[in-house]
Structure 1
Amino acid sequence: MNNRNETRYFQVALTTLDENVLARELRPLKEIRDSYPKYLLTMDTFNKDANYDGIQKKNILDWLLEKD
């Protein structure tokens, strides 16, 4: 929950450039059957803003610097 009492889900991985790692990290978020936002945070700079069926991938440094 954030400071506005909104639910969000996060999965964190160093990198997901390997397809097997990406699949492993997305799996728990895909199993969640509600409509709250889901994020995959990584240190990746390549393909850092990808979207996987509603799961938003973000570079963790960019995410930390975002204004909420």
Structure 2
Amino acid sequence: MTCTWQSGDKEIDFIARRGDTVSYYQVTYLLGSQQTVDREFGVFDAVRDNWPKYVLSMDEFPQTHNGIRGINIIDWLLAKD
């Protein structure tokens, strides 16, 4: 696993690799403001591949933007994938 990737002033928190598969993760406490939503989802604008991208947060009803999935972090931690 790679921790952080930067492009300019934007940073992706985690890049996970399993075999030939790559997944990108942003982690934030809550998506409580539009500024936070723009920051956490917008970081993926610089990534031009089709691997899955996720924003993990404590929000009970996570948002999805432009194919980037928002997931409740507790649900993600308890998933059996």
Relative to the length of structure 2, the TM-score reads: 0.73
Consecutive unaligned residues in structure 1, runs of 5 or more: none
How many residue pairs get matched?
65
Relative to the length of structure 1, the TM-score reads: 0.86
Q: Which amino acid aligns with 1:8?
A: S
Q: Which amino acid aligns with 1:64?
A: L
Identity %: 35
* 1:57 and 2:70 correspond: yes
Consecutive unaligned residues in structure 2, runs of 5 or more: 1-16
Given candidates 22, 32, 35, the residue that maps to 1:7 is 22
Q: Which has the higher strand share?
A: 2
1:5, CA displacement in angstroms? 4.2
* Cα distance in 2 for residues equivalent to 1:51 and 1:17: 14
Moved over 3 A (4+): none
